[in-house]
Amino acid sequence: MSRLDSFIRRMQAQRDCLNAAVAAVGDLPGVAFELGLGNGRTYDHMCETMPNREIYVFERQVAAHPMNIPDDDHLVLGDILETLPEAAERFEGEVALAHTDLGTGIKADNEKLAAQVAPLLWRAMASGGVVISGDALPGTGWEPGPRPESVAPERYFVYRKP
């Protein structure tokens, strides 16, 4: 598969998983987390599909289009392993939906980071909350979430906190 085809499939998987997660947590109170702003595409989609939910974005360094950058009150800058622990404590049990698309493109490094982020997300997530991740989140009690049939099992990961 070409890199272009792989990119398109990843974007479709993100969109389909986000849409399913938004529907799954529709009545669940709480905020949303976007871990990794990138160019802001998924954040923009989250804003469009969840206009009444506060979305907190975590990013090391902003490089997104200016239209896709949250206000200062909803942008958390810095290394995720330094900023997420405080946010997990602040929002413990209050995050209805989280999307994490962190990584460097190096599989082993991404897996290590996902393993470090997983327990922090677990703490922050509300019961019934949904996490969408580009990498598997090991080491917690996640249940399989509402993964759309259009998304291959290893393409994107969807978890629900019981």
DSSP 59-126: ESS--S-GGG---GGGEEES-HHHHHHHHHHHTTT-EEEEEE----S-HHHHHHHHHHHHHHHHHHEE
Total-model pTM: 0.94
111 is in which domain, residue-wise? 3-160
Q: How far is CA 96 from CA 2, 8, 71, in A?
A: 35, 27, 20
Residue 159: the pLDDT is 96
When divided into structural domains, the chain yields a total of: 1
Give 24's Cβ-side CA count (13 Å radius): 25
128-152 per-position pLDDT tens digit: 999 999 999 998 899 988 889 999 8
CATH number at residue 18: 3.40.50.150
pLDDT band at 1; cut points 50, 70, 90: confident
87-100 per-position pLDDT tens digit: 999 999 999 999 99
